[in-house]
Amino acid sequence: MTSAVAWALPAATAAAGRELLRRAAEERDLMRRAQGDPGALARHRLARCRAENTEALRTIVDRHGWPTGRLVGEPASTAALMILLHAPDLAFQLRCRDLVAEAAADGHCPAVHLAYIADHCAVARGEPQFYGTRVNPVTLRPYPVRCPETVDERRTDVGLAPLEQQMAALRRGA
């Protein structure tokens, strides 16, 4: 969060933003460690971190609503989304998906945030996703997509590249 943004935010929401950034960074670090050492202890630490991050995010959401960029700064809002995507609580994810949808409709949250959480929740519920952001890690193919003939239009609407372009980039990186 830039110092200019921090000064513009009330102290409580600025602190929430710093907390979100710290927690997301800690989780990224634990994920890297778990990839290098996929043992039970690393998985346990990562699971505990995600559970604690979920509770911290829940507290922020209960107090302030969805942490939009205007509320906590853009980087912290993105950190909140990352925490939400790894939350072990689908009911909480669904609740926040609706809050993100409202914030995106009001222009207070990037529409791409909604795309990621909407697809995440759809796949978790065994439903087709809307934007094709979720990919099966085994097949490297997108999980089923609702109305695949118009998926690229929906992706364009939220600022995502066409699905085939995303898949080609994924295959290059695999």
State pLDDT tens for residues 52-85: 999 999 999 999 999 999 999 999 999 999 999 9
What residues have CB less than 8 Å from 68, skipping those under 6 apart?
77, 103, 108, 109
Residue 97: inside a domain, yes or no?
no
Q: Is 119 exposed, middle or buried (0-12, 13-18, 19+ CB in 10 A)?
A: buried
Neighbours of 137 (CB within 10 A): 7
Q: Would you say residue 1 has pLDDT above 70?
A: no
Residue 102: inside a domain, yes or no?
no
pTM recorded for the entire structure: 0.90
Residue 94: inside a domain, yes or no?
no
**pLDDT at position 93:** 98
Q: Is 35 exposed, middle or buried (0-12, 13-18, 19+ CB in 10 A)?
A: exposed
For residues 83 and 21, what is the distance between their CA atoms, to the nearest angstrom? 10
Residue 157: inside a domain, yes or no?
yes
Q: Would you say residue 110 has pLDDT above 90?
A: yes
Question: Do 79 and 117 have their domain in common?
Answer: no
Question: Do 79 and 149 have their domain in common?
Answer: no
Which amino acid is present at 163? L
Question: Do 79 and 135 have their domain in common?
Answer: no
Question: Do 75 and 114 have their domain in common?
Answer: no
Question: Do 6 and 66 have their domain in common?
Answer: yes
Name the domain boundary from 88, 123, 146: 88
Question: Do 1 and 82 have their domain in common?
Answer: yes
For residues 134 and 21, what is the distance between their CA atoms, to the nearest angstrom? 23
Domain that holds residue 51: 1-88
- The total of structural domains in the chain comes to 2
Residue 168: inside a domain, yes or no?
yes
